[in-house]
Amino acid sequence: MNKLLEVSDISKHFGGVTAIHNLTFSLEKGEILGVIGPNGSGKTTLINLISGIYGPNQGRILYKGQDTMGLKPNRLVRLGLARTFQATVLYSEATVLENVLRGTHLIMESGFFDFLFHTKDARQKEKEAMEKAMAYLTFLGLDKVLDQQVKNLPYGYQKFLGVVIALATGPDLLMLDEPAAGLNMEEALEIKRAIEKINDKGITLILVDHNMRFMMSLCHRMVVLNYGEKIAEGTPQTIKKDERVIKAYLGGGHSGGHN
Ligand SMILES: Nc1ncnc2c1ncn2[C@@H]1O[C@H](COP(=O)(O)OP(=O)(O)OP(=O)(O)O)[C@@H](O)[C@H]1O
Ligand SMILES: [Mg+2]
């Protein structure tokens, strides 16, 4: 069995709003899975559920065969599950290197006792994360700007930096929420190449983005959400021609200009 993730019949409600409704899909090791759908269709909520920020009201999520119910985001990060956020969370006054240091520290932050006593285990994990971060900075061409303040970098580099910080935790599954949003065509192409390189290293990816050209050219398979429900699933080729998808999303002026 090569399933990395199995999402079975999950639902998530916020008060009267159903953000995810009876959703089932699975993910093979090594895949790039795209999740698309109109604004408010539940894409970010899905990432929040998989990364343990929320628990589902119903259903089950298995990661590497293990039920993730009740596991905190930090615990899931240690099991190899990492994500970036839709809005880039960076310290704009700090340099690239300082951001990586702080970012890896925050993500890898150990348990309360590790934190109090700064244990050997915690120090070792941080050291490893730092080494990984440095390797990925070089891998993605950011090693030339280590000493620059983030606010002076092009937006594309800032997006890369968020990805590097997630990669530094050594994920098997990486989820990127709108990696191409706000990027120009050239920057989107660069991040596409970077994602392909990351996938070549054997890292499985879930991508959410409104840039259809970007998504269609990168994803092996796609899941389409509408009002929290899966309305289609398949290769980019089949998704492009799916009547329900065209009606709900592709035909409605969501051609990629979304921020
Ligand atoms: N923490 C929350 N509290 C209340 N409602 C929420 C919360 N998070 C999401 N929602 C609601 O759940 C629905 C799905 O939102 P979500 O952010 O997952 O959509 P999305 O597909 O990521 O949209 P976008 O493309 O605009 O990023 C929306 O109606 C949203 O208002
Ligand atoms: Mg979103």
Assess whether 107 and 58 both reside in one domain: no
Ligand 1 pocket (Cβ < 6 Å) reads 14, 17, 19, 37, 39-45, 86
Assess whether 144 and 177 both reside in one domain: no
Assess whether 20 and 144 both reside in one domain: no
Residue 56: closest CA among 20, 16, 83, 26: 20
- In this structure, which residue's CA is closest to atom 2 in ligand 1? 14
Domain endpoint, select from 132, 155, 170: 170
Q: Hey, is 11 helix, strand or coil?
A: strand
From 21, 43, 53, 229, give the residue whose CB has the most ligand 1 atoms within 8 Å, as the site to mutate: 43
Domain endpoint, select from 135, 170, 205: 170
Strands 221-226 and 229-234: antiparallel
Assess whether 145 and 186 both reside in one domain: no
Nearest ligand atom owner, CA of 85: 2
Domain endpoint, select from 170, 203, 221: 170
Decide if 229 contacts 10 (C-beta within 8 A): no
Token pair for 153 = 């970098």
Left if phi > 0, otherwise alpha if psi is -120 to 50, otherwise beta: which for 37?
left
By residue count, the chain amounts to 259
Assess whether 177 and 76 both reside in one domain: yes
Assess whether 7 and 128 both reside in one domain: no
Assess whether 194 and 166 both reside in one domain: no
From 13, 21, 44, 259, give the residue whose CB has the most ligand 1 atoms within 8 Å, as the site to mutate: 44
Token pair for 11 = 């639902």
CA atoms in the 13 A half-sphere facing the CB of 113:
2
Closest atom of ligand 1 relative to the 210 alpha carbon: 25
CATH no. for residue 107?
Answer: 3.40.50.300
d(CA 172, CA 204): 6
Over its length of 259 residues, how does the chain's per-residue pLDDT go in tens digits? Answer: 589 999 999 999 999 999 999 999 999 999 999 999 999 999 999 999 999 999 999 999 999 999 999 999 888 988 999 988 777 678 889 888 888 877 776 666 555 555 555 667 777 777 777 788 888 888 888 888 989 999 998 888 888 888 988 888 889 999 999 999 999 999 999 999 999 999 999 999 999 999 999 999 999 999 999 999 999 999 999 999 999 999 999 886 554 444 4
Assess whether 139 and 179 both reside in one domain: no
Dihedrals φ, ψ of 45, to 5°? -60, -40
What residue numbers bound the domain in which 100 lies?
A: 88-170
Assess whether 146 and 129 both reside in one domain: yes
Decide if 208 contacts 44 (C-beta within 8 A): yes
Q: How many domains does the chain have?
A: 2
- In this structure, which residue's CA is closest to atom 12 in ligand 1? 19
Nearest ligand atom owner, CA of 211: 1
Helix or strand holding residue 124 (H, E): helix 120-139
Assess whether 105 and 72 both reside in one domain: no
Strands (E), the chain: 3-14, 17-28, 32-36, 58-63, 66-67, 81-83, 173-177, 204-208, 221-226, 229-234
Token pair for 175 = 């989820």
